[in-house]
Amino acid sequence: MNPPADHPPISTPDDKDLLFGPAADEYARFRPGVPEQVAWLLADAMTGVPDVTLLDLGAGTGQVAAALLPALPRITHVDLVDPSQAMLREAVVTLHPLMGNRTLSCHEAPDDQFTPQRPNYQADLITCCRAFHWMNRPAVLAMADQVAAPHATLALMGDGSLWTHKADWTTVLKDLIQSYLGPGRRAGSRGTYTEPSRRYEDNLADSAFSDVSQHLFRFPRDWTPQQVIGYLRTTSFARADLFAERHAEFEAEALHLLEGHADDRGRLTEQVDFTVLLARRPGGTT
């Protein structure tokens, strides 16, 4: 499926395109998807909405929509917003077999600059997974208020990263990365990553979507050493270009380290805390 006519070109790639666009293929292959139980939670939030329009911000390679389409067959239209053309191309490939008679629009733009292409547009479900920290959060929430249906649900969700997860194997992996790149957590070529000064809950409290409930899903996630290596190439803290000519050396050393920490199945286990914030306007109902 080719992007439809309302897929506008982007003239100058922004920081997020430079951070993640070059790894779009590996992002699609190695980034964990949205858990099924999260998809069912979002589907339940749409109870009573007959025809659902999904607006996914920071859509990447379409993981949110890929999880939601089977769980919520009442989705009739999907809008994907991401500044990376390469990411959206991967998303179209991923979602094509799942779309059926639904319609799909891709928007290459910063997330706070999404502009609906259809008259009388209203999004019923607005999602953002593992991406809100990269965004102009007040601007995104203000935009969402403009395009959301009165009953809309906004879902912010994520599960951290292997940099933040604490396990024996992630600790030694982080130490190895720092031995190559320095003690700070890199944020691509822009320097080091700075933790957001405000919680997402605080941003939501200041927005139209101030009625918030939190949902936590805990489960184990297994990785193979090779999958971890592929995942690292998609991150802002260990992507290939940060290592320059030493990247192959780093990957060989990391693979040897990870294989030494794998269990007798050849697996590395991450205990995941996947958090979902469901936010609505006060008094909003389906």
pLDDT in tens, 189-204: 666 666 667 899 999 9
Evaluate if residue 10 carries a pLDDT over 50. Answer: no
Q: Which residue has the higher pLDDT, 164 or 212?
A: 212
Query: Would you state the pLDDT for residue 62?
Result: 97
**H helices, E strands: number in the chain:** 11, 7
Evaluate if residue 9 carries a pLDDT over 50. Answer: no
The answer to whether residues 68 and 91 touch, using CB atoms and an 8 Å cutoff, is no
d(CA 68, CA 207): 25
The torsion region of residue 257 among left (phi > 0), alpha (psi -120 to 50) and beta comes to: alpha
Name the residue among 272, 128, 130 with its Cα closest to residue 204: 128
Per-residue confidence at 13, pLDDT binned at 50, 70, 90?
very low
Query: Would you state the pLDDT for residue 196?
Result: 67
pLDDT in tens, 68-98: 999 999 999 999 999 999 999 999 999 999 9
d(CA 264, CA 247): 28
pLDDT in tens, 128-153: 999 998 899 999 999 999 999 999 99
Q: Which residue has the higher pLDDT, 277 or 284?
A: 277
Query: Would you state the pLDDT for residue 285?
Result: 56
Name the residue among 124, 86, 118 with its Cα closest to residue 105: 118
Query: Would you state the pLDDT for residue 241?
Result: 92
Give the SS3 label for residue 79.
strand
Evaluate if residue 126 carries a pLDDT over 60. Answer: yes
Q: What percent of the chain has pLDDT over 90?
A: 82
Q: For residue 115, what is the DSSP state?
A: -
